[in-house]
Structure 1
Amino acid sequence: MEESLLLRLSVQVLVIIGILATDIAAQTSNAFWAVPLSLLGGAWSWRMRRRPNIGAKFLIAMGMILALVLFIGQLARFAQDSRMLLTELLIQLQVLHSFDLPRRKDLGYSMVIGLILIGVAATLSQTMLFGVFLLLFLAVALPVLVLDYRSRLGLITQSIQSLGVSRKQIRQVGRQWIITLALVVGLGMVVFAVLPRLPGYQIRNLPVSANIDVQGQFNQANVTNPGYVSGQGAGPGGDGVNGELGEVRFSPDFYYGFGSEINQNLRGSLTPKEILRVRSQAPGFWRVMAFDQYTGQGWRMSRNEAAEILQRPAWSYRFVVPHQNPLGNTKEVIQTYTVVSEFSNLIPNLAQAQEVFFPTQEIAYDAEGGLRAPLTLPEGLTYSVISQVPIRDRTRLGQASTTYSKAIRAAYLQVPTAIAPQLQAQAEALLAKAETPRTNPYEQVLFLTQALKQGYSIQPELPPLQPGEDLATTFLAAQGGYPDHFSTVLTLMVRSLGIPARLVTGLGTGEFNPFTGLYIVKNTDAYALTEVFFPGQGWFTFDPIPGHELYPASIEVDQTFTVLQQFWNWVAGWLPSPVTGAFASVFAFLDQAWRWFLGLFSEGIGGVLQGSLVVLGVVVLAWLLWLSGRGLVYRQRLAKLPPMERLYQEVLDWLAMQGFPKRPSQTPWEYLATLESQPTPPRVQLTLQAALREITRAYLAWRYGQQMANLPKLYRTWRQVKRRNLRQWR
């Protein structure tokens, strides 16, 4: 029976923190009933701890069986993410368990449940608020472990007063608790920073919201963007212009580029607002939709009506997405998206989605590779996507064929005849500036992308286009325009050279939060890119917008040590350039060495053997360095001692290495008597005992009588003893 009231209360607090953390992370309300009942159960079990409680135990067992039956029924009825169902089952069992806690091991079960709940909250949490609960959990867990250990030793404590300690001792314990908590948190942060970020989601039961029943027939051609408030939508407010696509007003909360037809003559700016939280194995451009037909001041999807409806089985949320074009080298990347604020009915994803886990019975897949849902994506919606992301191999792309199918040529080479000669001439003029001729499409597109970045500028004050004016020619004449205008001009220039291209809109990677592992994506991260087709390889994006990289981050970016890299970027901002340059050189060398080492294991048996020898050599070298460092620290510690104490400490350390350590409670003479009682070979017994007696006597005379001994003689005596073979003395 467990009599420690403090331990019981601390464990209850630990479990309550776990319940609250899962509630906040998953936006549930289990705490409203679980916390009061758990406290009631803890009070009742304490009051009834000395009684058999047979009836209560029977009711608790029946309740646990009922909770299991309900869990199995929910699991069979809903094919959603099972983590919350398991969490609810665990909370129900814990509440029932709290009514019967007579023994310490039962409290141990509750501690484990609290740990599991905080772990589940860590996987569900998408905000920094989880860090508060984690710190609270650690703060309570440390005294719980101490109280549990005292209970195992039989030191029963029912209250603070029964400890029999003074206020000064309580303050001392409090300081020790704060120091220990700080050390644990600090060590945890160091481990968190250097821990490799290896790809997750190795299973296919991916996070997805509960099933959504959509009323009415799904019109797969419908694209809904809440931002269009007049002309092509409904609702009040917004900024707009009257252009080729008619009068269009647009809300400052939504990006204009998500619609079956977009007007790039719009002006204004977006009010920053978080819209998505993304957990992904790799960063990327969260693609939303693409356009094939240029209208003069915008783009439209000419084959919007050809969108195909995809259906999933009733027992699974998995949709299989067909691929229209063969792909080259790809890498699987798994993503999970959580909608933070209302979004259009378009489904963001990394390029070349292969499987989609979505909570509606139907979704649509359009001719440009975009995905759309039968409803606007509501706040709180979660879905997952598995994409086969094309690998950007510059050599392979440079060698790609220039023979395009009839369908590709018909859809992605259209340029208005009035502006085609001017665009082609400008593209060829830019390519002529290259130091070496650009002979293949990939290198030509890459060079044009860079040329637009460097030769043209963003002009936020550019006046709206008048009816009949062309966006591309105006851009060239004004030497710039709005950010998305760069992508439009690049797309048309590429097309004028006979290379298939289209405009694609989506969301940038966003800001990575190293504590939650999520990419925080805002509406201001939305922009347009150019997608170019390479036969046998797929579609690849290019970003001509000044201030952006040539193409978005993708699977080529190593995420293994993301947190450590971000921490270094923060530190580097405070250091002088020469210092950061020196560190950058060191990091580059380490990176090359690491890649070389990993490459050995892909070279067959010989490479594996070389890699194994390298590992063995590094381990031996590290061991030698550790021994050398330990010896150096030991010598430095001895150097700070007085000469006589230094000699005596050397003797104690050497004897401890032989297996005869001195206990702190022993006096020097008691320790010597213990050594003399040990069986030793006759030929070393007299020499060793005489040397130890002489050194002990000299040490005590110095320590308590301030009498200096003949140190050189003592050192010579001790060295002679050590040089003999004393291993047999043991």
Structure 2
Amino acid sequence: MSTGFQQSNTTQPNRLKELWQRFKPQPPTKIEESIPLRVMVQLLVIVGIIAVDVAALDVVDSPGISFWAVPMSAAGGCWSWYRRRRANILVKFCIAIAMLVALALFFIRLLEGGNDTRLVLAELLIQLQVFHSFDLPRRKDLGYSVVIGIILLGVAATLSQTLFFAPILLAFVAIAIPVLMLDYRSRLGVITSGFRGVRSDLSAKRMSGFLLLTLALGLAIFTLMPRFPGYQIRNFPVSAPIDLQEDFDPETVINPGYVRPGISGTGEGEGEGTGEAPETGPGELNPEFYYGFNTRINQNLRGEMEPQVVMRVRSQAEGFMRVMAFDRYTGQGWEVSRNDEEQLETLTRSSWSFRFHLPMGISRGRRREVVQSYTVVVEEFPNLIPAMYEAQQLYFPTEEIAIDAEGGLRAPLPLTDGLTYTVVSQIPYRDRTRLEETTRRYPEDVTNYYLELPAELRQRVQERTREILDNAPNPITSPYEQSLYLAQFLKQNYTVQTDLPFFDASEDLVEAFLFKYGGGYPDHFSTVLTVMLRSIGIPTRVSAGFLPSQFNPFTGYYVVRNTDALLLTEAYMGSYGWFAFNPIPGMEVIPPTVNDYQAFGVLRQFWDWIAGWLPSPVAGFLNGVFAWIAGVFAWIVARLTLLFRQGWVGALIGFGLAIAIAFVGWLGWSGWQRWRYRRWLKQLPPMEALYQQMVQWLKSEGVVKKPVQTPLEFGRAVRHNTQSIPSDLVDEISHAYLHWRYGGETVDVKYLRNKLKTAQRQRNQRLPFLQRRFS
């Protein structure tokens, strides 16, 4: 009995010991011993963290994440190296708790931060990476860090609006290349515990070559890659909510470039502006603020603005960014006649969304949705919201906005540096054929405001306008064609005059332009065209806004300056709505607008840059060729899109046509490749061409000649690898090739060619029919 009792007492501790050993935390297996890989991964993550800080400067104040995250991540990497062989249970537990706290803070900030969650997500990833860096024993854990670094760089790329991000991207690529090489060595089991073991593989010369090759391929793919507008996230960028302390007065437009009543010329006193430009009478332009952003614009101002970047815009299509429109001509400028509470509509958004639904006019014709995101980069901009016409939805940080009778959007306060908002517009296609069919029957609310002119001015301008139209090469009757012709006539027959004297108090701008000076300031051209069209019964107005003059294909943003602001003429084309015309010399008469196919917009921008260096005749010819190719491609895509919209039958027809087009393209490509191959063979000596034909035939049969193989070694390889190809023929042609090339002997090429053709014919007869057709 005592023996059995002792045995039970000894077996119970053994069982407990076995259970403890089974559940005891074990050190991780497959520990990563490569110091170079760990260091390079850490550098990759650090670059990703810094990229977020640098990119955030373009949209908000710098969060300063790098100041604490970079040293903490580096410290975590060192800690994980020295503790790589231990279980680190306490550390893992603390990391889990810290990650849960970071996740809770993320959800809190997500609810408070507004619509743009990119920076909030980046901060969460950085926090997770810092915690994760304290436990990196295996190569798989390092892989997680690499993924986080790539995600951080991607988030930074969406935040960045300037080329300051470019050096960081280059540094990331320069580090990523050796990381991939070291990771591959680790997977192969090659131990590189120190940098000396990989010094030759990671030499500066070799890495520079890889980096240049990667950059060249990346830029080529970036340039050629289409930009499809359909891939658009619906959670649009918007600044944090703005709480107003005062009541919103929608009648007020705040432009610091104008002197207002009650303000002295030095900018002192009470009012809404501190500029030097008066609203009436002679005066000087404010060098910073465009004079056209006001309820009343004075075109008797002289001077020039100093170029200054005011905003950066990411848009799915290039277009005129409209700010305001004016309906009443004052003789030396324009004003908004309907600027009271009855004509202005105040819109309020819901508390849980930044979206305003904007009223739109009812018009015929095809439209396309275009999304634009604006970021203001000046200290102060008028309380006007630029947007492509016609805006359907606005994502803005204030609770209220206003919309005037001309479709202009007004904010409760001036737009300040860093403010970001998004606009969704429905842009009409400019179908010239349909617009030519418009009639002169207009609704009463259009004729009451957009045909108004002084009687004396109307008669004199109308006579001049009729004279111009009567002298046209062909009769012009439709309002759209008359608008185009008059705009082009002003561009070609009147000049921009920067030394124009001030107008007298009784002098009319349009009469002085047409009959006295023969030109004027750039904006005067749009005023004259608007008045000329009104004189012949076409409803018009002038609109002030920005034409995007510079597009950065690397950031994807349009850089908008104050000098890009101008006035355009908008003509009413009946049920199709309003369309803009630009009569200013040196610019396109039709402002940029949506086209059927703009997926290759970056490629077009790149070509415009190249064409600037080419002679005009060469650039013109190549432009014509590319325009024809683009037109054919756009026509095909438009027809296929139309078919896909006509139900499942149209979809089947569209798929069939797409397959047929692809097959024809493949046949053309194959034919071109065969033509190149035959042309290349004709340029070779007969024996060399015969040998290359044999090599190409064997390649199609699955036997590929390696570059390091001699002709005799290749012949032996053929003999060992296949039984269906006569090896004696391969040996005979190979020996003849060697004797000709290195011995200078004469070879009966015709005899060998006939033998090769006979072997190919016999081989094809043994193949199935379809394989013979497509091999």
Please give the TM-score of this superposition, normalised by the length of structure 1: 0.88
SS in 2 for 1:619: helix
- Which shifted more, 357-366 or 443-452? 443-452
Distance 1:115 1:393, change over 3 A: same
Tell me the equivalent position of 1:572. 611
Tell me what 1:210 maps to. Answer: 240
Question: Does the C-alpha gap of structure 1 residues 494 and 632 become closer, same or farther in structure 2, counting only changes over 3 Å?
Answer: closer
Distance 1:657 1:638, change over 3 A: farther
Q: Which of 509, 522, 534 is residue 561 of structure 2 equivalent to?
A: 522
Structure 1, unmatched stretches of 5+, are none
Contact 2:377 2:417 in 1 (8 A): yes
Q: 1:606 to 1:70 in 2, by over 3 A?
A: closer
1:409 counterpart residue number = 447
1:525-564 alignment, distance < 5 Å: 525-556=564-595, 558-564=597-603
Mapped contact 1:240–1:247 kept (Cα < 8 A):
no
- Mark the CA change 1:635 to 1:456 in structure 2 (over 3 Å): closer, same or farther: closer
* Match 2:376 to one of 321, 330, 339: 339
**Whole-Å Cα distance in 2 between the matches of residues 241 and 577 of structure 1?**
42
In structure 2, relative to structure 1, the CA distance for the partners of 1:185 and 1:113 (3 Å cut) is: same
Shift of 1:453: 2.0
User: 1:596-639 CA distances to partner (integer Å, 9 max, x unpaired)?
Assistant: 43355246566664443232121123134335545766887897
Q: Check the 8 A contact 2:258/2:277 in 1, yes or no.
A: no
Is 1:616 the counterpart of 2:654 in the alignment? no
| Number of the residue aligned with 2:398 | 360
Q: Distance in 1 between matches of 2:489 and 2:743?
A: 86
Q: Over aligned residues, Cα RMSD in angstroms? A: 3.4
Residue pair 1:362, 1:373 contacting (<8 A) in 2 also: yes
1:148 aligns with 2:183: yes
CA distance in 2, matches of 1:68, 1:259: 47
Are 1:502 and 2:541 matched, yes or no?
Answer: yes
Kindly tell me: are residues 616 and 37 of structure 1, through their superposed partners in 2, closer, same or farther at Cα, counting changes over 3 Å? Answer: same
Q: Which moved more, 1:289-298 or 1:266-275?
A: 289-298
Alignment partners' CA distance in 2, 1:362 and 1:68 = 33
Choose 70-79 or 226-235, whichever is displaced more. 226-235
Corresponding position of 1:15: 45
The one-letter amino acid paired with 2:574 is P
Which residue number in structure 2 is paired with residue 470 of structure 1?
508
> Do residues 227 (structure 1) and 257 (structure 2) align?
yes
- Give the distance between the partners of 1:448 and 1:587, measured in 2 at CA: 29
- More displaced stretch, 32-41 vs 193-202: 193-202
Contact 2:364 2:576 in 1 (8 A): yes
The whole-number CA distance in structure 2 between the counterparts of 1:58 and 1:533 is 69
Deviation at 1:87, TM superposition (A): 1.4
The amino acid that maps onto 1:566 is Q
User: TM-score, length-normalised on structure 2?
Assistant: 0.83
User: Is the aligned partner of 1:293 residue 2:328?
Assistant: yes
Q: Report the Cα distance in structure 1 between the residues aligned to 2:466 and 2:339, rounded to whole angstroms.
A: 33
1:111 to 146, 151, 173: 146
Q: Report what 1:377 is aligned to.
A: 415
Other structure's SS at 2:124 match: helix
CA distance in 1, matches of 2:761, 2:281: 102
* Structure 2 residue aligned with 1:483: 522
Residues 90-129 of structure 1 aligned to structure 2 (within 5 Å) = 90-129=125-164
In the alignment, what sits opposite 1:79? 114
Deviations 1:346-373 (A, max 9, x none): 0000111110000111111111110011
**CA distance in 1 between partners of 2:102 and 2:459 (Å):** 73
Q: 1:296 to 1:148 in 2, by over 3 A?
A: same
8 Å Cα contact 1:230-1:248 kept in structure 2: no
Q: Deviations over 1:159-206 (max 9, x none)?
A: 22244x6xxx468x4322211211111111111221122215633211
Give the corresponding residue for 2:102.
Answer: 67
1:67-107 deviations in whole A, cap 9, x for unaligned? Answer: 11221222233331122221111111111111111000111
* Mapped partners of 2:392, 2:583: distance in 1: 28
Q: 1:186 maps to what in 2? A: 216
Identity %: 48
1:437 pairs with 2:475: yes
- Deviations along 1:699-723, one digit per CA (max 9) or x if unpaired, are 99999xx878895499589749946
The 5 Å alignment of 1:585-596 reads 585-596=624-635
Mapped to 2, the partners of 1:177 and 1:522 lie a distance apart of 40
> 1:424-477: per-residue Cα shift (whole Å, max 9, x none)?
222222222223333232222222222222232222111112223222222222
State how far apart, in whole Å, the 1-side matches of 2:125 and 2:687 are. Answer: 57
CA distance in 2, matches of 1:606, 1:372: 48
Superposed CA offset, 1:531-572 (max 9, x none): 222221111112222222222111138533223223333333
The answer to whether residue 290 in structure 2 is matched with residue 255 in structure 1 is yes
Map 1:263-342 to 2 at 5 A: 263-305=298-340, 306-324=343-361, 326=363, 328-341=365-378, 342=380
Residues 51-76 of structure 1 deviation map (CA, whole Å, 9 limit, x = unaligned): 11000001111111111122122223
With over 3 angstroms needed to count, the CA separation of the structure-2 counterparts of 1:583 and 1:299, relative to structure 1, is closer
Contact 1:71/1:89, CA 8 A, preserved across alignment: yes
Which residues of structure 2 form unaligned runs of 5+?
1-30, 268-273, 644-649, 768-775
Q: Does the alignment pair 1:4 with 2:34?
A: yes
Pairs aligned (count):
712
Change (3 A) 1:7 1:424: same
> Residue in 2 aligned with 1:583?
622
